Amino acid sequence: MVRREFFKVAAAAGLGTAAQNTGMAQTAVAGPAPFIEHATPGQPHKGKVFALITPHLDDGPIFAGGTVAKLLNEGYTGYFIRVSNDEKDSYSLTMGATVLANEQDAAHFVEVAGLKKRYDLHYRNHGLDDVSRMEIRVRLIFLFRLLKVDTVLSYDPWGHYEENPDHYVTAQAVEAACWMSADHLDFPEQFDAGLKVHSVSEKYYFARGPQMVNRVVDIGPTIRQKAAYIASCRTMITNMVKGTNDALTARGLRISAFAGNQEAANEAYIQAAFLDRDKRIGAKYGLEYAEEFHYIGPDRSLDDYIKTHAEHI
């Protein structure tokens, strides 16, 4: 669950929550002006593969849904790797029913987005800091080599003030796996199964707290796709809406748009909590809607030398 987003909405509603005391808000760390990535016509990424890797179903749709849609529109083949089983994120279901409901929602998200396949690693939700990071890393390296992943989208392993261990453990495992999957001495037994070394060359990292932002993706053209992705996380969004309503009730308040028909209430909440936030981010860069990332691209440090010195053989 994106607990911080719940706090932000609750704070906006005048509810006394931790958000007001800790200043929790996505903030860009000062640095050079970021590169603005606009939609590209055609399918320039045809043949390339990305993996969205998050501990929880809703992380990707909420923080990178517009970019996921953009990359898919531009020809990428996409996979979703969900690291936890999301057993803690429902309003009133039992733990077993919560696992199933979020598993079904994850299948729905993959279908709505047009992703090729989902891999659930099924570690226990809220407990990733008690799992061997090496184990998660090896599983990711296997998948990066198997799927020939070129690009990843995940939490920023260097984002500040992240309170959820699932987020930072996943981020650290992803970052290490990206380069170790290219090393012939890391888990060489995988090569006997037909896999080959393969490095991940592009990374889009998002964060809930302050991070170095060097890339802003214009998601104006994909904002409706993003809204549909978030809506597919029905169990989680319903939990956020009902939790917000409970907090409002405790203060003697009510937001009529969040009450009544659940689909309509979820839609209103998605607009208020996420799409309006993306609009505020976009306004900083003269865009209608935007998502911010710390982007790491391919290593070009030898390009000039190669251009000057390389011979055809």
Angle, helices 223-232/234-250, rounded to nearest 10 degrees: 80
Q: Does the footprint of Zn ion cover residue 88 (CB under 5 A)? A: no
Tokens representing 50 are 């990305």
Of residues 59 and 278, the one with the C-beta less far from Zn ion: 59
Of residues 77 and 211, the one with the C-beta less far from Zn ion: 211
Q: Residue 226 is which amino acid?
A: K
Of residues 56 and 215, the one with the C-beta less far from Zn ion: 56
Contact pick of 4, 8, 48, 56 for Zn ion (by CB under 5 A): 56
- The minimum distance between CB 46 and Zn ion, in angstroms, equals 31
CA–CA gap between residue 235 and residue 93 (Å, rounded): 9
- The minimum distance between CB 287 and Zn ion, in angstroms, equals 25
Stretch that binds Zn ion, among 53-61, 77-85, 154-162, 286-294 (CB under 5 A): 53-61
Q: Does the footprint of Zn ion cover residue 59 (CB under 5 A)? A: yes
Of residues 89 and 292, the one with the C-beta less far from Zn ion: 89
Helix segments in the chain, DSSP class H: 3-12, 18-22, 59-73, 95-113, 133-147, 165-180, 223-232, 234-250, 262-270, 276-284, 303-309
- The minimum distance between CB 252 and Zn ion, in angstroms, equals 31
CA–CA gap between residue 153 and residue 60 (Å, rounded): 8
- The minimum distance between CB 9 and Zn ion, in angstroms, equals 16
- Give how many residues touch Zn ion by CB under 5 A: 2
Of residues 56 and 145, the one with the C-beta less far from Zn ion: 56
DSSP 59-89: HHHHHHHHHHHHHHHTT-EEEEEEEE--TT-
**Sign of the dihedral through C-alpha 101, 107, 110, 111:** negative
Stretch that binds Zn ion, among 59-67, 73-81, 122-130, 281-289 (CB under 5 A): 59-67
Check: CB of residue 90 under 8 Å from CB of residue 98: yes
Candidates 266, 277, 273, 264; CA nearest to 241 is 266
Stretch that binds Zn ion, among 5-13, 55-63, 238-246, 285-293 (CB under 5 A): 55-63
Count, residues in the chain: 313
- The minimum distance between CB 145 and Zn ion, in angstroms, equals 26
- The minimum distance between CB 148 and Zn ion, in angstroms, equals 27
Of residues 3 and 148, the one with the C-beta less far from Zn ion: 3
Of residues 10 and 248, the one with the C-beta less far from Zn ion: 10
Torsion angle (degrees, nearest 10) of CA 260, 266, 267, 271: 120
Could you list the residues that contact Zn ion (CB under 5 A)? 56, 59
